[in-house]
Amino acid sequence: MPYVNIKITREGATPAQKAKLIEGVTDLLVRVLDKSPATTFVVIDEVALEDWGIGGLPVEDYRRVMRADRGRVPMK
């Protein structure tokens, strides 16, 4: 009877994409640990960009720094 919480930044994930996450992670628990889908909960939290920090910065600032300083593709 697993409980899975998926936190992602709020950047336009559609209901169809969320349904794929729910299906995919439930299938994974069935496949790997033989869990029952009927007692597998998945809760998705979309977090506003200003509420997510990485590298000591809010996500948008972090991506800006990554692009400017290192020419890297910004992480999603």
Active site residues: 2
Query: What is the distance between the alpha carbons of residues 36 and 38, in angstroms, rounded to a whole number?
Result: 5
In the complex, the smallest distance separating the C-beta of residue 14 from its own copies, rounded to whole angstroms, is: 9
In the complex, the smallest distance separating the C-beta of residue 67 from its own copies, rounded to whole angstroms, is: 14
| Helix (H), strand (E) at residue 46 | strand 41-47
Decide if residue 67 touches its own copies (CB under 8 A): no
Query: What is the distance between the alpha carbons of residues 20 and 12, in angstroms, rounded to a whole number?
Result: 14
Decide if residue 44 touches its own copies (CB under 8 A): yes
Residues 12-41 that bind its own copies (CB under 8 A): 13, 15, 17-29, 31-41
